[in-house]
Amino acid sequence: MNKKSLLLISLLTAMTMLFAACAPAVQPAAPAQPAAPVQPAAPAAPAQPAAAVAAPTEAAAQPAAPAASGNKVVIKWFIGLGTGSDPEQQEPQKKAVADFNAAHPNIDLQMEVVTYNAAYDTMATELASGNPPDVVGPVGTSGAEAFHGAWLDMTDLIKETNYDLTNVDPMTVAFFKTDQGQLGLPFAIYPSELYYQPAMFDEVGLSYPPHKYGDKYKMPDGSMVDWNYDTLRKIAMMLTVDKKGKTPNDTGFDPKTIVQYGFVDSDQNLRGIGNYWGPDSIVEADGKTVKIPAHYVAAWKWWYAGMWKDNFIPTQAVIQSPEFGATNSFNSGKFAMSINHLWYTCCIESAGNKWDIAAIPATPDGKKVAEMNADTFRITKNSKHPKEAFEVVRYLINDQALNLLKTYGGFPARKDLQKDFLAALDEKFPQKPDWQVMLDAIPYQDIPNFESYTPNYQETINRLGTFQQLMTAQGDVDMDKEIAKLKIDLQVIYDKKTK
Amino acid sequence: MAAVATNSKKNGFFLWGMSPNSRREAIWGYIFLSPWIIGFLLFTLIPTVATLGFTFTNIVIVQEGAKPLAFVGLDNYTTLVKDSQVWESLLVTLKFAAIALPIGILLPIALALLLNSKHLRLANLFRTLFYLPYIIPFVAAIFLWSGMLNPGTGWINQALRAFGIANTPNWMEDVNWVYPSLVLIGIWGIGNDMMISLAGLQGVPTELYDAAKVDGAGFLTTTLNVTLPMISPIIFYNLTLGIVGLLQYFLVPLVLNSGTGQPGNATLFYNMVIYKTFFTYQNMSYGATMAWLLFLITLGITLVLFKTQKYWVYYAAESR
């Protein structure tokens, strides 16, 4: 063998060894574990409303069936990015599919159900492989923005089919309109409201929070003040007590022995807290520059002080503790007030049967804002049959509305269906909460929504979540420094997808 | 392959210049090798080279804002330098490795020394018991451990409370205890390394121990001057694979807390960030860039190990 050949063999062997060393089959020494061929749980995704609050079960993913024979157009309906993958939801969904197929002989609608934990990865794989589903839903804003750019603008289809949008609030239509067009139609909405425990207010002689947007609040001294977050802070501090019955306003108050908190913002993220002070975006109009609105900073500082200085908001350790509901805080019965969405009625069975709902406080400049979650069905941009897909969406949102809304626990965006839904809620909650508050909140939804688009969406949410975890875990955070760092990090994150 | 090599030596490596018989033998050799070669090319070499190409583009799963696929030069690399999450996660990985690696190397040897002791009764039983956890399906084992480490209901904390320790650790939620928790989970699976160490120990010539005994060496002196040098190739093997494995560590935290990095990003390992960059953030090019950085770091450390082995690894069968 000559020198050249030997060199070539050696080089190939060395490269082989190097690449083999990088292969996933390597058996590392303890304590590192070997890479087992296992389906890992998907990373944490933004919370989804309604039935997804209960952990999705491990219903097996049902792959799409082969295309129907004949001249039928096959439409694939992907379920799992939001609710819809629980076992008890399958029969109603199958019924919806069967009814649709019976009524549409030219279309073969096929379901693909994926568990929530695997849905993001599955959807990403299908998009990347050029085999996207046609219809996706029900999916909320967060789930949809994780695949920003993948959705069809339905404007032309709405015009062509003369789709009737007069039976929904115009704000709910605007909710799904972005710079990329009308990407969804109103289906299920979940306005936010202030859940509160009247008994706790009675105990300290406080007036209840106002139920009408724009009403003032009566303080203990009889003065009428604006119902905003400053007022909420004041009364929340009066409603927070330690085991000796002292409040944060009292000398000798011990924050380590609090038995009742005045306020908790359940399931809210930093953008949601920011939107309490007024809806905004964390992206400039150019779509690639970070913006941290000044009022977001103010809202975050208010919230942080509420946890560590004024002590009326629980920290993460408290929220996670079993004594305070193990993340289902208001349900523990130890919180006087909580902001949450309508879908929270799924999970409130232990909060007693006396709670009620009130208007969300106004922003510091007096604006009425009630944040919204909303689910709908979307059509992928690369669907080969957009017209047929739109027919499916139209059918699910209208003809199957009652069947599916009941399945998903969603409040109808259609005004003509809302009365029946509220009647069902009254049966479930005998104290008959003031649902009118929730209806009144619809026009005040936050646009831009607190889950609206940012570049590199999932990574942005992740980075914000890291900052939020820091705030809830440590009482000595330099907020200005961390926010400055957040801004730099977010710009790097945006640049990854916008350059 | 030997026939090919032998004939190649006589007649040249490639098929030209060979005698017809040699060529026929060589062709059959390559045919039998071809499944591995094709597999290696298709599933390892070509994809690996392709990812290098990806690092110079802007491949994402869903192109935001209808941006076309483009060559972006060194943008991904400059972003890598500026990305604090990359360096923080590398630091997390190295911090964990600094704790886990010594334990992962020394503990199997210590157990093997105990198992190799002539005074131990029922050695076979202990060997089996130590090895058994290794064969339990990995994800099932992690779920089991998450139950055991539960701060409220886990039996470890219950046992500690029974011994009068009121302030039991919040294992997976406390930044001070999360690494010991992960090390505990890892220790459970050291059976394989222990068996390899034991095999190495049993290969040490007994006359060396006799000679040491004659010279008056005690247990510690014998271990340090006879046993460890003789099993240094095993230690080198475990160390190399241990470092490679720890740099790729992510499956345990992924299963335990869905890759959130909690508590406080203490479990946001570098490979976890790569996984999330690929599959959660859908940024294939940037993920490929991060993967290549990991490859270079791993390669660098491995080369250092191989270079320095001549100073501390003793191969009894070869001359130094």
Distance of CA A62 to the CA centre of its chain: 25
Q: So what's the pLDDT on residue A14?
A: 58
pLDDT digits (tens, 9 = 90+) for A201-259: 999 999 999 999 999 999 999 999 999 999 999 999 999 999 999 999 999 999 989 99
User: Is A497 at the interface with chain B, CB within 8 A?
Assistant: yes
Q: Which of A8, A15, A17, A22 to mutate to test the interface with B (most CBs of B within 10 A)?
A: A22
**In the 8-state DSSP scheme, what is residue A400?**
T
Q: Which DSSP helix (H) or strand (E) runs through A64?
A: none
> What gap in Å lies between CA A131 and CA A262, rounded to an integer?
50
Q: What is the DSSP string of B262-301?
A: -STTTT--HHHHHHHHHHTS-BHHHHHHHHHHHHHHHHHH
| pLDDT at position B3 over 50 | no
CA distance B311 to chain A (A): 22
Listed in sequence order, the DSSP H helices in A244-343 are 270-276, 294-308, 316-320
Model pLDDT, residue A113: 96
Q: What Cα–Cα distance (Å) separates residue A351 from each residue in A138, A153, A449?
A: 28, 42, 28
* pLDDT, position A409: 79
CA atoms of B90 and B85, how far apart (whole Å): 8
> For residue A465, which residues of chain B lie inside 8 Å, CB to CB?
260
Find which of B15, B44, B62 to mutate to test the A interface (most A CBs within 10 Å of its CB). Answer: B62
Question: Of all helices (H) and strands (E), which one includes residue A269?
Answer: none
pLDDT digits (tens, 9 = 90+) for A132-155: 999 999 999 999 998 888 999 999
Class of residue B49 by CB neighbours under 10 A (exposed 0-12, middle 13-18, buried 19+): exposed
Asked if A287 reaches chain B (Cβ–Cβ under 8 Å), the answer is yes
Mean pLDDT of A417-427: 88
Q: What is the CATH number of domain B75-312?
A: 1.10.3720.10
If one counts every other C-beta atom within 10 angstroms of the C-beta of residue A188, the result is: 30
Residues 6+ apart with CB under 8 A from A420: A402
Helix B270-279 to helix B284-312 angle (10° resolution) is 160
DSSP letter (8 states) at residue A323: G
Query: Which H or E run contains A186?
Result: none
Q: Which chain A positions have a beta carbon within 8 Å of B187's beta carbon?
A: 30-31
Q: What is the mean pLDDT of chain A?
A: 86
Nearest residue, CB atoms, B245 vs list A18, A29, A127: A29
Q: Which residues contact A449 (CB under 8 A, 6 or more apart)?
A: A141, A175, A275, A279, A371, A372
The reply to whether omega before A66 is within 30° of 0 (cis) is no
Interface of A with B in 102-131 (CB under 8 A): 117, 120-121, 124, 127-128
Work out the percent of chain A whose per-residue pLDDT is above 90.
61
Q: Residue type for B308, please?
A: T
Three state DSSP letters for A339-388? EEEHHHHHHCCCCCCCCEEECCCECCCCCCCCCEEEEEEEEECCCCCHHH
pLDDT tens sequence across B174-190: 888 999 999 999 888 88
Does B79 contact A26 at a Cβ distance shorter than 8 Å?
A: no
* Mean local confidence (pLDDT), B79-88: 93
What tens digit of pLDDT does each residue of A278-329 get?
999 999 999 899 999 999 999 999 999 999 999 999 998 898 888 898 888 9
Q: Tell me the C-alpha distance between A77 and A395, whole Å.
A: 13
- The CA distance from A460 to A493, in Å, is 7
What residues contact A27, with CB distance under 8 A and at least 6 apart?
A: A34, B192, B241, B245
Does B62 contact A496 at a Cβ distance shorter than 8 Å? no
pLDDT at A248: 96
Torsion angle (degrees, nearest 10) of CA B67, B70, B73, B77: 50
What's the gap in Å between the CA of A126 and the closest CA on chain B? 9
Token digits for A108? Answer: 């073969």
Yes or no: say if A248 and A269 are a contact pair by the CB < 8 Å rule. Answer: no
* Cα separation, A80 vs A459, whole angstroms: 20
| Residues forming beta bridges with residue A182, ordered by sequence position | A177
d(CA A64, CA B261): 34
CB A102 within 8 A of CB A159: no
Number of C-beta neighbours around residue B132 at 10 A: 11
Cβ-contact A162, A342 below 8 angstroms? no
Question: Which tokens belong to B185?
Answer: 């989970």
- Return the number of other C-beta atoms located less than 10 Å from residue A102's C-beta: 8
CB–CB contact B185 A31 (8 Å): yes
Residues 6+ apart with CB under 8 A from B197: B108, B109, B111, B112, B231, B234, B238
A214, A218, A223, A226: CA torsion to nearest 10: -30
Q: Where in chain B is the domain with CATH 1.10.3720.10?
A: 75-312
The residues pairing with A136 across neighbouring beta strands, listed in sequence order, are A78, A378
Residues A466, B182: C-beta atoms closer than 8 Å: no
Tens digits of per-residue pLDDT, A442-459? 999 999 999 999 999 989
Which residues from A are below 8 Å from B265, CB to CB? 466, 469
Domains in chain A (CATH in brackets) are: 50-190+373-444 (3.40.190.10), 192-369+452-498 (3.40.190.10)
Using pLDDT thresholds of 50, 70 and 90, give the confidence band for residue A30.
Answer: very low
Q: Which chain B residues are closer than 8 Å to A36 by Cβ?
A: 137-139, 251
Question: Among residues A131, A122, A153, A120, which one has the least CA distance to residue A44?
Answer: A120
Strand positions, DSSP E, chain B = none
Give the three-class secondary structure for A68: coil
If you average pLDDT over residues B1-27, what whole number do you get? 67
What residues of chain A lie within 8 A of the CB of B111, using their CB?
none
Where do we find the tokens 């900073």? A297
Please check the confidence at residue B173 and state whether its pLDDT lies above 50: yes
Contacts of B100 in chain A (CB under 8 A): 31-32
Name the residue among B190, B254, B286 with its Cβ closest to that of A40: B254
Give me the percent of chain A exceeding a pLDDT of 70.
86
Q: Which of B60, B87, B280 to mutate to test the interface with A (most CBs of A within 10 A)?
A: B280
Interface check for A223 against chain B (CB to CB < 8 A): the answer is no
Q: Is A10 exposed, middle or buried (0-12, 13-18, 19+ CB in 10 A)?
A: exposed
Pick from A31, A44, A147: CB nearest B259: A44
What letter represents residue B89's amino acid?
S
d(CA A318, CA A89): 33
Q: Residues B111-145: pLDDT tens digits?
A: 999 998 888 888 889 999 999 988 888 889 888 88
**Three-state DSSP state, B230:** helix
Those residues whose C-beta lies under 8 Å from the C-beta of residue B116, and which sit 6 or more positions away, are B198, B201, B202
Q: How far apart are CA B80 and CA B87, in angstroms?
A: 9
Residue predicted with more confidence, B266 or A35: B266
- The residue of chain B nearest to residue A459, with distances taken between CA atoms, is B281
- pTM for this prediction: 0.77
CB atoms within 10 A of CB A369: 22
Residue type, A218: K
Is the pLDDT at A40 greater than 70, yes or no? no
Within 8 A of A147 by CB-CB distance, chain B residues are 62
Q: How far is A142 from A192, CA to CA, in rounded Å?
A: 16
pLDDT of residue A37: 30
Kindly report the backbone phi and psi dihedral angles of residue A460, in degrees, each rounded to the nearest multiple of 5, phi listed first.
-65, -45
